[in-house]
Structure formats: structure tokens, C-alpha cells
A and B are shown apart, each in its own frame.
Chain A
């Protein structure tokens, strides 16, 4: 998560209007997931990759490593779809184990492959958004979509304080290590416990201090801030519209076959 945060601030697409990126992501994601078409998924995956790596300037190796992350879910997920245990062998493959077969059908292999395709295209959509859009910009879009202000304010504060608390935690950890807190399992466990409680108390104090600081700037219960939104570009909207129409056509076309 921290890596993604660092990358999105360096992305060359960072200053593209966030609503546009959000719209593109949402539409592409919807078509890929609802359409369940190989061709559309492949097209979306390719375009997202090009946009993120070529246009956005995210390093390819980083992007590939990030794409590997959902494998942990995908492999067992598709195995469950493809592999069956039954007394009757199915048409694609079958390994006898005693009286039983570990087996799978052609349909289920197709199903499993489609699962991979759709999952990767969906993940690439979300990476496109999160690698090229800062959290504050995404919150700005949510505000426009009339997500309740309370939720947005919470997200805003949580996002800011994740980093503050991480910093505090790592400082405490270093000071524990420098006093041999990680000497063996026992001391490690104790150090970790006190780190947790210490962090909790500090978070509490920080919350109080933050409230005081906000109050001294006339906080009245609603966080009002200016957005730093960039203008919408008509050209980009046209590109998005054209791409989504093509994607939709590909989906419908490939399903008709």
C-alpha cells in the first residue's frame, strides 16, 4: 500500500482530472466483470498496462510485481473451479486415485481461464486508478459523488494518520531493538505487545492534540477544504468514450459467437 502511495505521486498521469480516471476505471471494470469476455478482458488489460507503464511512467518491474499479488487468491480460486473429485472421469483430464478420479471438464477449464482473464483485467483497472491517482484526489471524486461527508472526513484523517502512526511505530521498534527487544522470542513477543499498547495511547493523545489544533482554526464539526482539481479535458473524455464503446462492442461480439 505504501509503495502504491509513493508511486502515484510520481505518476505522469497524476494531474489528469481525477473524475475522468475514475469514470474510465469504473466503466472498464463494469464491462470486464459483467461482460465476461476473453477479448474484452485482454483488451482492457493491455490498455491499462500501456496507460500505467508507458503513459504514467510506473516502472514495469514494479507493475508486474504488483500484478502478481492477486495470484494468491486466483490460484486456489481457479483450482476449485477446474479440479473435481468424482467417481466418473470428465472429458479434459483425469488421474485415478483408488476408486476415485481427480478430474476436470473442458467447460470448467474454460471457466477457470475466463476467471483469470477477468480477474487480471479487473485488477489492472484498479491499479490504473490507484497508481495514477492520489488518495486526496480520489476522496475529491467521492465527495462529488455525494458520499456522506462523515465517511470522507474519516477516510481523509485515516489516510493522513496511517503514515504518522507508522512512523511512530517504526521509531518505537527501533528503540526497542536498540535495547535488545528482539533478542529471543519471549522478548520479541513482549516488545510487540508494549508497542501495540504504546501506539494506542499515542494515537489517543494525537487525536486530542489534533482536535485542539483544528479547533484553534475555528473547526465547527465539518471539514471544509478546497479541492485542487484539474480541469476536465474534452479530448480525454472522447478517448474514454470511444474506448468504452469499442470494449462494449468487443464484449457483445465475442459473446455472440
Chain B
């Protein structure tokens, strides 16, 4: 666990249920996220990940409990919401639900203009993001002619142009092929290098193991465990509860140790590291 007290996001005892639905989507969820961390949110479908994300930038207002961003409780006034949405950006799972304009340039410029930037600044920023996220080759194509991966890149650019402190990616790799998944992961790594806190919901425990600083396990609208990937993956019971298996690299590593083919040194952080240890 980190010893930092610099929490960028604190959620205290959140409850939320959707209209016309008795089941609580969030049921007393509490979690704290340190600044600059890479946090993986894991749990089955309907465990409340997406609902929680929508609470973090004020799209949903929790029935009970409160959200603090940067140590300040979210205020649900117009100005307060503007402020929290500037700090916390969400890249939605389905880019077709996020991209509203057929023009990539218009699309990306939307967020920053809403923050009140003047046209010249906005143009510069949009052009910068287009360059940085490798969008240049398809920036003149209409949104409906982009591939799933390209739409995802634009969706990330949409948010990045607003310079958020916290970036939430809701299952960024869903429906992407291996090449684009890798590309999105590279982009995410660059976000953290810029000091942005990244929260990501995902189902791939192997990727979470190698990428995340912390894993938050969710189940039925609650956080059932938060910890480093190592702490989480040692606890098979809690993993099972969240419907997850242990990372492949860990299982192979332990088999190798048991068979005496590898002497117990450092636990590998990824398949590549394991391969390195074997060579």
C-alpha cells in the first residue's frame, strides 16, 4: 500500500439505485485513491463499476454517502459540477455513445471549448492532442469511417484535451483487437507519466497484474478488497468472489518454483519478466 495521504478521490459509503430498480447498484461503497496511481477496478458485470464512475464526476448523484475530489466534497451546483467534470474525465466504454460529431476535429474541440478556452488556445490544444495520440493519419476522416480502435483513440483525446487530473477508462480494451489494445495501453501509460491518475475497469487479470499499482475488487456494489496486485492475488477466496482467476504468470511461476525449475527470487511482474528469469 502506498503511504501517501494525498487522496485525489475519496468515496464514503456511496449508495445508489437506478430508478425503477429495487436492487442497489452501489451499496455502501467506500474507497480512496492516491494521486498519480494506476488503479484497476475489477469485478463481474453488474458489480457497480460503471455506476461508481458516473458518480465520480457528478453524472449520477449518490442517494447516500459522498464523493470528495481533491479533498473537497463534490458540490452539485452548476459551477460545482463544471469544476468536478474538469478534474475527472471519463472515457466511455462504447465510443459510439461518446462521439457526437462526424468530424474528429470538432469532436475533440468540444470539451476544451466548454471549459471556456478561447478559440486560438483550443485549436492549439486540439492539434497537440491529435499529434500526441497518433490521430493525425485519420483526423480528416468522418467518425463513421473510423475503426473501433481509432474511435477509442479519439474518445481518449476527447478527455485528454481537457487536462483532467483523473482519467477514468471504462473497459478500454473491450471490442478491440490485440494491436489496438496494445496501442490503448501505451496511451494509458503515457497518461500516468504525465501525472494523471488513471482508473480503469477491466476483466483481464493478467493485464491488471502487470499494469496496476492497485487493484480494487468490486462485488454487488461494494468494494470487497483493495490492495496491490500481489496482495489481491494471494487471496484466492476474494478473487473467486469477484469471479476472477489468478494471473497466468503467477500460476506458472509458482509451478516452476514447486518443481524446482526456478529458485524463488522476485515475483515476476509480467510474462516478459518471467521469460527473462528463465533464460
Name A's B-contacting residues (CB within 8 A).
5-6, 9, 134-136, 156-157, 159-160, 163-164, 167, 206, 209-210, 212-220, 223-228
Contacts and interface: CB of A to CB of B under 8 A. Distances in A.
Contacts of B78: 220
Contacts of B122: 226
Interface residues of B, number: 41
Contacts of B33: none
Contacts of A6: 145
A164 B96 CA distance: 7
The interface residues of chain B, by DSSP majority, are classed as: helix
Closest 6 CB pairs of A and B: A163-B144, A225-B106, A209-B97, A218-B114, A226-B109, A217-B111
B59 A216 contact: yes
A210 B97 contact: yes
B102 A226 contact: no
Nearest to B107: A225
B114 A224 contact: yes
Interface stretch (B86-94, B180-188, B259-267): B86-94
Contacts of B105: 226, 228
11 contacts: A136-B103, A210-B97, A213-B90, A214-B110, A216-B89, A218-B86, A225-B113, A226-B106, A226-B123, A228-B103, A228-B106
Nearest to B99: A160
A209 B123 CA distance: 27
Contacts of A160: 99-102, 143-144
B25 to A, nearest CB: 14
Nearest to B103: A136
B72 to A, nearest CB: 18
B144 A212 contact: no
Given A225-B113, A226-B122, A159 B102 contact: yes
B85 A216 contact: yes
Contact of B82 (A134, A214, A218, A227): A218
A6 B144 CA distance: 10
